[in-house]
Amino acid sequence: MSEMVELKIQFGSERFPLSIDINSTVFELKQQLMDSTNVLPKGQQLIHKGAKLVDSKTLRDSGIVNKSKVMLTASGGKFQGGKSPVVPTYQKIMNEDRSLNSAPVKETNILKSSVDRWKMFRVIGLAESNLKAIPDEVWECGSSSGSCPKVLDLSNNYIRDIPSKISCLTSIKKLMLNANDLSDDSISWEDLTQLKYLNYLSLDQNQLTYLPSSLGELTSLEQLHVAGNKLESLPVELGLLTRLEIFKVNNNSLSAVPSHIGDCNALIEVNISFNLLKELPETLGKLQKLQALHLQNNPLKSLPSTLLKNCVKLSTLDVTNTQIAVYELRQIEGWEDFDKRRVLKQNKKLECRTVDSADFDEGADKN
């Protein structure tokens, strides 16, 4: 017979109530706390009246009663999703400076010599230029016959708007917009998706909460970087990006990955670490060219059943700080062949001295 109790949880400076059956185990309490705190159960430590609670015991046997106070502490590296402890980025440092200094930012002067150089080399480099808007000189280059840029780097600025004029950059292949102030309504996606030669798009470290369905029109994309945003979902049209080789969407708030990702059959590397994923689509097993899959810091309990068997080039699989038990991982069909590839790759790195032997752990070697 269930008997509900109300607990008072303290997590750092946060305090919140939680209702649970007194006959639940401490581990079940941790699982419920995971949804509120984004901390994996194995990273939680619960303390009641100065004593550490044991996972296997029930709350009743642990001395918990109605209105009990329970303190939660979290081990480093056990976070997931938007709660992950990320090293401060250049953009965050700029934002802090901006809040301390209310004076308007002075934009970098665009010299005529720079425009001439852009037209000559067809590369526009404006990273870390204190820009609040894209200069008109960029659009001038786009409208110049025979000198339309192929690369536009606007990283680490204060830009809040990607206007419809972006469509004039008809020859652009590489567009870097990471670490700006872009939000969902900042980008004219209808015009950006007119860039049919675009094969590299970086939108890391902005304020995006979704990607539009029109993203699927960028069929030349080979690399898509959207890490460090606030994405909660991905469009099913992702599957239309059949040339996509590298997809990085780590450090967001994704709760699901669309099954259509299995149609991106050119994928070599996928990074979906530090999200809120509890399961993955079986269609990941269709990615026969996949070599690296980063899954760390997600509340995952299992992998797609055909992943190790069908992804015959997979040699990097990081499941650190997930709920996937090592013994279960080693029982998945295809483990032995995968393990041979994994060890072979690491041995080559060791021979070339490109990795420290202490780093030879991707979550599969831990006891």
The answer on 315 and 219 residing in a single domain is yes
pLDDT of amino acid 76 = 56
CA distances from 358 to 146, 339, 346, 355, 365 (A): 52, 18, 11, 8, 12
Q: CB of 209 within 8 A of CB of 233?
A: no
pLDDT of amino acid 79 = 63
The answer on 324 and 283 residing in a single domain is yes
Structural domain count, the chain: 3
The answer on 331 and 214 residing in a single domain is yes
Q: Report the alpha-carbon distance of residue 239 to residue 257 in Å, rounded.
A: 11
Q: CB of 79 within 8 A of CB of 73?
A: no
The answer on 217 and 366 residing in a single domain is yes
pLDDT of amino acid 78 = 60
The answer on 95 and 17 residing in a single domain is no
pLDDT of amino acid 349 = 73
Per residue in 12-33, pLDDT tens? 878 889 899 999 999 989 888 8
Q: Domain ends where: 30, 51, 78?
A: 78
pLDDT of amino acid 359 = 43
The answer on 320 and 299 residing in a single domain is yes
Show the CA angle centred on residue 173, arms to residues 168 and 175, nearest 5°: 80
The answer on 350 and 220 residing in a single domain is yes
The answer on 74 and 89 residing in a single domain is no
The answer on 91 and 69 residing in a single domain is no
Per residue in 285-309, pLDDT tens? 999 999 999 999 999 999 999 999 9
With a cut of 70, list the residues of the chain below it in pLDDT.
1, 76-113, 144-146, 353-367
The answer on 260 and 343 residing in a single domain is yes
pLDDT of amino acid 354 = 54
pLDDT of amino acid 353 = 62
Q: Domain ends where: 199, 220, 235?
A: 199
Q: Domain ends where: 199, 225, 240?
A: 199
CATH code for the domain in which residue 139 is found: 3.80.10.10
The answer on 86 and 74 residing in a single domain is no
Sheet containing 174-176: give its strands across. 123-125, 151-153, 174-176, 200-202, 223-225, 246-248, 269-271, 292-294, 316-318
The answer on 187 and 252 residing in a single domain is no
> Whole domain around residue 10: which residue ranges?
4-78
Q: Report the alpha-carbon distance of residue 281 to residue 259 in Å, rounded.
A: 5
Per residue in 45-84, pLDDT tens? 899 888 899 999 999 999 999 999 998 988 755 666 654 4
